[in-house]
Amino acid sequence: MNSSFNKLLTFKILIVMLTISIFSTNFLFIERVEALSDSRQLVLDAWTLVNEGFYDPEKFDEIQWKRIRQKTLQKQIETSEEAYSAIEDMLRPLDDPYTRILRPKDYELLKSSNFGSEINGVGLQLGEDENTNKVKVISTLGGSPAEESGIISGDFIDKVDGISSEELGLANTASKLRGESGTKVLVEISSESGEIREVDLERRSVDLRPVRTKRLRDDSHTIGYLRITQFSESVPKKVEEALQELKVKEVEGLILDLRNNSGGLVSSGIAVADSLLSERPIVETKDRNGIKDAISSQKETSFDGPMVTLVNKGTASASEILAGALQDNERSILMGEKTYGKGLIQSLKSLGEDSGIAITVASYLTPNGNNIQSQGITPDKLLDLLDAGEYGSSDDKWARNAELFLESLLEQKEVSNENNALITEETKT
C-alpha cells in the first residue's frame, strides 16, 4: 500500500516537474521568438515600404521581389545588425544606390545635415558612377578636411581604412567616413585619369553655412553674389533674407553660385526657385504610376533682375532642379561645366525606433521635359578655366567671368533704355 502510494506520489512529482520544465522551455522559446520577431519585423517593414513607394515597380517582376522577401526572412535574423545586413542584401537587386538602409548613426547624421547647420565627418558628398558602379565624389564641402586635402568632384573612393568601397557599397562607404571629431580615416583616392593616392583625413565638425552672400562693386555697377552650398530646411528663409539684404544694397544683377552643391531637400530647392521665378513652371515629377505632377512658382518674386548661375560637375539633385528651372524659363544664363546628373527623388522613412530607409519614389524633368538622370545639364556658356580654390574670392575666375557677363547685360540694358528715351522724345516733338 505504502509502496504503491510512494510510486504514485513519485509519478505525480515527475509529471509536475516535467510540466514545469515544458512550461519554462516554452516560455523561453516564446521570449526568443518575440526577440526574433522584432528583428524580422524590421526586415518586413523595410520590404513593405519599398514595395509601396519605389518609383519603378516593373523592377519587382524582373528581380522576383516577393521571392526575395521570402528568402530573406528565412535567414538567421536575431539582432538589429543582422536585420540591417539582410535589408542591404534584399535591396541590392533593385540596382539603385539611393534606395538604402540607414543605420541609427547614419540616419541621425542625415537628419542633422538636412535640418542642422553642421556635421561631423570629412566633408564628402558621394554618389555611384553609372558606368563603373564605383563610389564617386559628387562634391566636397567648403572648408572641410576633404577640400583641404585636394579631393575634387569626379574622384573615386577606392578604399576606406583598407576596405574596398566595392565591398562596402555606397551607404557603408559613407558611413565609414563619418565619425567623432578628432578621429582619423585613411582613404585611397583615384582620379578620373587613373592617378591613385592615399589621404589621411581627420574628422571634424564642418560648418555647412548653406547660404553666403556679398556685394561686388566696380566703377559703374553693383552686383550681388549669392552662394548656396546645400539645400537644408533653413535655406529658403536664409535666401529670402539674403536677397532682401542685397536689395537694400541696390544690386542691379545677381550671380547665383551652385558649384559643388550636391542637393539636399528637394522642397528647399523648389522654394528657392519660387523666389526667383514669377508664375513659371519649376519642375515636373513622375511617380511609379507614371503620373506627372507639375510644380509652378507663385507670382511674387524676391529678385527679378538679370542673373548668371554658376554650375559644375558637383552640382546635383535639388540644385539641378533649380538650375534647370532657371535655364528653361530663360530666367538666368548658366555658366560653368556640365552638372552631375541626378534626377531621382528620395523619400526618407523611419524604420524602427532609431534607423531609417531612403527610397527613390520619383524621377523629375525640367520644365522643357529634359530628363537629368545620368545626363546632367549643359550650361549656356561653358568655362574652360581652372575652378577656384575658394569660391567667390578675388582669385575666382569663374565668378569674375559671370560678373563681366552681367556688366555687359546691364550696359546693353542702359543703351536700350537710352534709345527708347530718345525715340519717345522724338515722338513728342
End-to-end CA distance of the chain: 142
Q: 398 and 336 in contact (C-beta within 8 Å)?
A: yes
3-state DSSP assignment of residue 401: helix
Burial 234-245 (b: 16+ CB within 10 A, else e): bbbebbbebbee
How far, in Å, CA of 283 to CA of 267, rounded?
11
Q: Give me the sign of the Cα torsion angle 295, 299, 302, 306.
A: positive
What would the DSSP string read from start to end of 124-156? EEEEE-TTT--EEEEEE-TTSHHHHTT--TT-E
Q: Grid coordinates in use for 168?
A: 562596402
| 297 carries an active-site annotation | no
Catalytic residue chosen out of the listed positions 342, 355, 363, 396: 342
328 catalytic, yes or no? yes
Q: Is residue 317 flagged as an active site residue?
A: yes
Compute the distance between CA of residue 85 and CA of residue 95 in angstroms, rounded to an integer.
16
Bridge-partner residues for 228, per DSSP? Answer: 211
Crossing angle for the helix pair 80-91 and 2-53, to the nearest 10 degrees: 40
d(CA 171, CA 165): 10
- From 153, 262, 268, 317, active-site residue: 317
Q: Which residues contact 327 (CB under 8 A, 6 or more apart)?
A: 309, 334, 366, 377, 380
Please give the full DSSP string across 85-127, using - where no structure is assigned. HHHHHHHGGG--TTSEEE-HHHHHHHHHHHHSSEEEE--EEEE
Q: Which of 328, 332, 349, 355 is catalytic?
A: 328
Residue 225 contacts residue 214 (beta carbons within 8 Å)? yes
- Residues recognised as catalytic: 317, 328, 342
